[in-house]
Amino acid sequence: MNQRIYLDHNATTPVDPRVLEAMLPYFSTHFGNAASATHGLGCDAAGASEVARLQVAGLINAESKDIIFTSGATESANLAITGAARHRREHGRHLVTVATEHRACLEACEQLAAEGWELTVVGVDRHGQVAIKDIETSLRADTVLISCMFANNEIGTLHDIAGIGRLAKERQILLHVDGAQALGKEPIDVLAQGIDLLSLSAHKLYGPKGVGALYVRRRDPRVRLVPLMHGGGHERGLRPGTLNVPGIVGFGQACAIAREEMATEQSRLGGLKERLWRALQRIPGVIRLGHPEQCLAGTLNVVFTGINAQRLLVETPMVAASLGAACTSVTPKPSHVLRAIGLAWRQAEGAVRLSLGRWTTADEVDQAAAALTAGVERQRGLHPAAGSENAPRPT
């Protein structure tokens, strides 16, 4: 019971030993610069990077030339949103996004709004899912880009990306998708789902931190971007700088593993999540957030009504999890995702995100549930009324 149980895989994942093994030679014996084409070490690095590009592309049904390597999904999203909007500024200056997007995407859109673009932020239902009809209503003749995440990082809800993709194609509007939380967990097919730009990150997928990718469609239509940085012709001229070869090799290996194991792992995690929820359901006043069916297999976000979630996790150190209500350094603020699905301030303060991963076991799930239950009971012992069965529900 003294061992820490890691249930924060949506924040980051441990590097898979198979990924680390693939990376290690590129720190030492194969240390060349992938741009050095005049000698073997450089060619080895370039070749390994191209293999990784194929592996990343293979997981999303893309071509290797569609993949641009970056430092992570935040950079990818900024390049996609800002780069596409600026390139298409003569076609229109209206952008559409969704209220529950990651801050990287929301703030990129907000920055463009500050520069003169018009921004429509579409709301979601109580499960955190956006309705295609609401996106359709928001579109205008001058709309150039829709940005919508595949899976929500806080509550796990999945959006109908294929439906949004069809709508975007009918209107000749580009679709950017934040795929950071979905990659390797849900099937992604950029062709079938009509995705023009897809932001990805390795560290959500048992790969290393500091490396990501952006899928940029090259045909039907060819998507063009204005780069964020300048300094060389690397990555089709969209992302200058020396390639992070060890990280890229690790990202590729992580994608190759996920492609083989995703279906089995999805089923296993779904079973563990339901096991965890059954145990937590015994706590009076507990509320489950997110879509009951269209949700990431390993993500469970719950509200312990009347409980301060930050205090609960501090006093339950064996469970490594995240708050559903993020705070700034000055003023406590509920997560924008939880507010968007209708939670009141006090309810959001009791939200905990539990995200399971590749090495989570049934025994760990049981221990975590017991520890959290005991922690809630301790808090409610000080405030008995907090566990009332009549506690308010999200609207």
- Catalytic positions are 327
DSSP state of 26: G
Q: Pick from 286, 259, 113: which is nearest to 189 by CA? A: 259
- In angstroms, rounded to a whole number, what is the distance separating the alpha carbons of residues 128 and 395? 12
Inter-residue contact 351 to 323 (CB < 8 Å): yes
Contact between 29 and 45 under an 8 Å Cβ cutoff? The reply is: no
| Cβ atoms of 195 and 161 closer than 8 Å | yes
Fill in the DSSP letter of residue 244: -
Burial of 395 from C-beta contacts in 10 A (0-12 / 13-18 / 19+):
exposed
Using a 10 angstrom Cβ sphere, with 0-12 exposed, 13-18 middle and 19 or more buried, the burial of residue 199 is buried
- Residues with Cβ < 8 Å from 15, sequence gap 6 or more? 206, 207, 208, 250
Tokens of 105: 């995407």
Residue with tokens 């590009």: 53
CA-to-CA dists, residue 272 to 157, 282, 349, 375, angstroms: 17, 16, 25, 21
Any bridge partners for residue 199, and if so which? 178, 214
Residues in a beta bridge with 118: 94
By three-state DSSP, how is residue 200 classified?
Answer: strand
